[in-house]
Structure 1
């Protein structure tokens, strides 16, 4: 298939398997959830009644005092332990490499079908200036949440977008499904397209 290059009469020939793949909502959802879960710390910790600081001596006599209670470290008392205490855990989900690459290809294909992927010859800035990035994005007429994908994100491009909310810059190696799904428009250079095609083919 052919991809139109913005601002140029020429086109870029790409593989249908990467940019013309059928969209699988279940696969993309699974990969996105797994990617986000991998970033969770999982360090939440609470104390059980045996771990909380306090005496385990019976707080009152068994009979004659109303309700029968034991130690004040029981969960029903203020300052007591937690009934089902949370412990440090891992939220990681296993995703095969083949599934991950297929999900990336499905997302890129759907972005292309929806007209949310824009291919440009190059994306360079002379200096790390936020105003230069704003002017460049205005010329391209992208949405509020653009994602800029280059073969190797240069320092000028990265620093120029750093102070702009909702503007993300990625190189091909740092491309992830969450950034692709959350972007209004994906601005991708022709060199990055070829590198992605080599990666996912």
Structure 2
């Protein structure tokens, strides 16, 4: 399949197997949920008797005083450790490399079908000025774009930093969550070729 390069009149040939796949909603949902869960922190934790600070001295004699105890950190005492203490858990879910790449390919294919992707030769700004980037985006007529470049230019990143709903990513920083949330995607030719090599 061929994609039009905005502003140049040229056509870019890309793989039909990667950018022309059917949309797999179940696969995309699974990968997006797994990606977001990987960023969660399991914060629930309690202290067992071995983790409490305090003396381990035996506070009374072994025999003749009723129940036998070693120290006050036992679970039956106020301020003692928990008998079955909760540990921080991991929310990570296993996602195979083939599944992840398939989901990324599926998302990109659907964005292309909906005409929400604009391929440009390059997108750069001479200096990190928001005004310059706004002018460039106005020429492309895009709304809340995700800008994908081969490797993120610092001037471009700084120019976009003050714009709400505009995000700049390089190919290595691309993930399914940011792609699903983008209303439109502006991607350079070099970045598209790099993505095609990665998903092949």
Q: Give the TM-score normalised by the residue count of structure 2.
A: 0.80
Post-superposition Cα deviations, 1:120-146, rounded to whole Å, max 9, x if no partner, equal 1101110011111222112211113x1
Deviation at residue 8 of structure 1 after TM alignment: 2.3
Task: Report the Cα distance in structure 1 between the residues aligned to 2:166 and 2:87, rounded to whole angstroms.
Answer: 36
Residue in 2 that maps onto 1:58: none
Matched, 1:114 2:104: no
**1:166 — aligned with what?**
165
Which structure 2 residues correspond to residues 188-199 of structure 1 after superposition, within 5 A? 188-199=187-198
Aligned to 2:15: 15
How far did residue 165 of structure 1 move?
Answer: 1.8
Shift of 1:5: 1.1
**Secondary structure of residue in 2 paired with 1:169:** strand
Number of the residue aligned with 1:142: 142
1:28 aligned partner: 28
Unaligned runs of 5+ in 2: 54-75
Please name the residue that 2:42 is paired with: 42
Greater alpha carbon shift after TM alignment, 103-112 vs 160-169? 160-169
Secondary structure of the structure 2 residue equivalent to 1:5: strand
Q: After the TM superposition, which of the residue ranges 130-139 and 94-103 deviates more from structure 2?
A: 130-139
- CA shift, 1:47, in A, is 6.4
Distance 1:25 1:86 in 2: 36
Unaligned runs of 5+ in 1: 54-70, 74-78
